Amino acid sequence: YKIIWLISDYRTKEITNQMKNHKTLLRVCALVLAALIFSGCSAVISNPVVAQVGDVEITYSQFYNLYETYASYGMIDTSSSDKIKEAHATIFDQLINSTLPVAVAHQQGITLTEEEKAAAMESVATTMDSYLKQYLDESIADETARTEAAIQAFNKAYKSNGITYETVKAEVEQAHIDDALGKKIADQVKATVPSATDAEAKTWYDEQIKTEQEKYAEDATAYYYDNQYYTYSGAVKPLVAPEGLFYVKHILIKTEEGEAQAEGDETLEVSDSMSFADPETTAKAILEKVNAGEDFDALIAQYGEDTGMTAEPAKTQGYVIGEGFDGVYDKAFYDAAMELKETGDTSGLVKGSYGYHIIRRVGDVSADPIPYEDVKEEILTYLNNKNQADAYNAALEQWKSEITVETYEKRVSYVGLS
């Protein structure tokens, strides 16, 4: 068995890249890895192989770390023993899919060029420096001596685990090599896929408009959620909006109750930039400024405590709202916004779950489809990515029929149950 509890899973990065638009998860996995490295897991010394993909081993720590990452962010259901078993299958699938390209490269004798290997090694030094950071003694003036002392301190801290700095470094280097090999194989597959044509993009555009019109006619809030998805994940923006939606902006003055409420909510993001002893008095003073004709956007920037109002596209457009959005927004906010009938209409002081709002209607959402030329490049990029992903997934299935895959479920059967 490899003695590598600390290292585990640089392949997590490649795995999460294969998932649908979980961009932030790449940073999450790096944080999880760092936490595990320095968490002092002295109870686990051996790191058994839990799966074999061709000549590539998948270890317990790779499985455990990916499971913990997915569980922490609600990407798997761990509510019962049966659900945990299903989660185990999901984790195995992800690990196997990420390892298959490496096994294929080994089988086909594909290696990295010196340039590719050098590129893979570029971040190793940075990674290893981050592992040593907490052991650096700044009182040692000489940089070489300071690093050597940190390595000795690291080795001492993990001696009982049978782990050394050099062991960790070797595993990190191998993980980067494997990632680069996997990417090389994946890129070869994707390179065989022809680029999407303008005609294909236009056909997709026409069909998508019809799909969205039907979808949003049934549920206008789906437009809101699709916009949110686009804002955070990319792909293609919604091409058409349902009738009757409009934009609002607001100035939020938080209360203590509102701050607590906002901690678990993603719609209104409360900043920590200001703190008022008497929020109601402050809100009334701001309302007087609004009624006196002061610039609303400037007042948002100066006093508003919803950070969502400072980020695009809401900073420029405002929040989308309309009939049926009562499940999207705080009820008091929604009710007050729906009373604003014309662009420029402004509410009085509105007390909601988050604090005091001053809300202004700032424009209507056009129900006309976005012109094709405005979204053509987005659509072409989306289609190219989709076609490449489809080809790669087909290749994965083909490789599974060609590469021997063994899993040892019993070795991870207790993960998530303790």
pLDDT tens digits for 88-147?
Answer: 999 999 999 999 999 999 999 999 999 999 988 887 888 888 889 999 999 999 999 999
pLDDT tens digits for 270-293?
Answer: 344 444 458 999 999 999 999 999
Q: What is the pLDDT of residue 160?
A: 84
DSSP assignment letter at 75: S
Q: Are 361 and 340 in contact (CB under 8 A)?
A: yes
pLDDT tens digits for 193-214?
Answer: 999 999 999 999 999 999 999 9
For Cα atoms 276, 281, 284, give the angle at the middle one, nearest 5 degrees.
Answer: 120
Residue 11 to residue 184: CA distance in whole angstroms: 14
What is the arrangement of strands in the sheet containing 56-59, beginning at the earlier edge strand?
A: 56-59, 49-53, 405-407
The first and second tokens of residue 389, run together, are 């992903």
Q: Are 215 and 222 in contact (CB under 8 A)?
A: yes
Q: What is the pLDDT of residue 369?
A: 98
pLDDT tens digits for 384-410?
Answer: 999 999 999 999 999 999 999 999 999
Q: For the chain, give me the number of helices (H) and strands (E)?
A: 16, 7
Domain boundaries, the chain: 11-193+408-412, 244-364
296 Cα distance to chain centroid: 33
DSSP assignment letter at 384: H
Q: How far is CA 385 from CA 183, 382, 389, 392, in A?
A: 15, 5, 6, 10
Q: How far is CA 277 from CA 254, 255, 283, 306, 344, in A?
A: 11, 9, 11, 18, 30
Count the Cβ atoms, other than its own, within 10 Å of residue 403: 19
pLDDT score of 259 more than 90: no
pLDDT tens digits for 31-59?
Answer: 334 434 433 343 344 689 999 999 999 99
The first and second tokens of residue 360, run together, are 């202004």
Run of H or E including 360: strand 355-364
Q: What is the pLDDT of residue 232?
A: 85
DSSP assignment letter at 59: E
pLDDT score of 162 more than 50: yes
pLDDT score of 12 more than 50: no
Three-class HEC string of 265-277: CCCCCECCCCCCC
Count the Cβ atoms, other than its own, within 10 Å of residue 369: 18
Q: With respect to CATH, is domain 244-364 assigned 3.10.50.40?
A: yes
